[in-house]
């Protein structure tokens, strides 16, 4: 991936998080502590501020550095988890990945998130979006299809009962609300997929 591409991806990711910060906050207010929008915005603005430095590195190093930055700046439960996602992706990916390599690396990165969070799909977390997106990647779905899969997967967390994170403290009362981390993950998937598609 060329330097300009990573800069564009960072801009697109930070833009969508900034544009939806209030929505993420509202979702986290319903069944969490209401900090997810601010957490994500703080983290992605910190990444945006150093976009040139990240984009100057080879992709694996850039992703590891972005992950480290997210761990340091997002905070909450989601900071270490999104940080792990990017760091593990950087560890597994090559400098100029084809789709097969990207799919493999993304799968390993999701496993790292699950290990870190002691979580799995079906527990109303970001994993409930990450996993179906990985499957769609493996099935060679188009960018538009992957975006639709991510949106549907976030929507599908509404009737779930939270079994991990703060929302799990609410038990059955967590049912009926979308998971904030699932929503932010779907937003990031859309930003990345549409940016890659537009500049492919």
Which one of Mg ion, ligand ADP, none interacts with residue 125, CB within 5 to 8 A by kind? ligand ADP
- Alpha-carbon span 194 to 200, nearest angstrom: 10
Identify residues 32-71 at the interface with Mg ion (CB under 5 A): 32-33, 35-36
Rounded to an integer, what distance in angstroms lies between the CA atom of residue 141 and that of residue 45?
A: 30
Q: How far is the CB of 59 from Mg ion (least distance, A)?
A: 30
Q: Among residues 41 and 64, whose Cβ is nearest to Mg ion?
A: 41
Give the nearest distance from C-beta 95 to ligand ADP in angstroms: 29
Nearest distance from C-beta of residue 141 to ligand ADP, angstroms: 23
Distance CA 198, CA 56 (A): 21
* Footprint (CB under 5 A) of Mg ion, residues 17-36: 28, 32-33, 35-36
By beta carbon distance, the residue nearest ligand ADP is 181
The CA distances from residue 6 to 18, 117, 180, 192, 200, in Å, are 18, 27, 25, 10, 13
In eight-state DSSP terms, residue 94 is -
């Amino acid at each position: 991936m060329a330097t300009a591409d990573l800069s564009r991806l960072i801009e697109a990711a930070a833009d969508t998080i900034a544009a939806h910060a209030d929505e993420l906050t509202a979702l986290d207010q319903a069944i969490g502590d209401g900090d997810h929008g601010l957490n994500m915005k703080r983290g992605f603005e910190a990444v945006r501020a150093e976009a040139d430095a990240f984009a100057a590195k080879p992709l694996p190093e850039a992703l590891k550095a972005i992950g480290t930055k997210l761990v340091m700046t997002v905070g909450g439960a989601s900071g270490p988890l999104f940080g792990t996602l990017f760091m593990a992706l950087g560890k597994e990916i090559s400098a100029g990945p084809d789709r097969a390599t990207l799919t493999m690396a993304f799968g390993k990165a999701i496993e790292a998130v699950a290990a870190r969070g002691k979580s799995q799909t079906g527990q109303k977390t970001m994993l409930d979006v990450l996993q179906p997106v990985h499957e769609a990647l493996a099935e060679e779905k188009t960018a538009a299809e992957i975006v639709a899969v991510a949106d549907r997967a976030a929507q599908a967390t509404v009737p779930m009962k939270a079994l991990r994170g703060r929302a799990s403290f609410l038990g059955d009362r967590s049912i009926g609300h979308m998971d904030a981390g699932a929503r932010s993950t779907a937003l990031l998937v859309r930003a990345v997929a549409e940016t890659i598609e537009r500049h492919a």
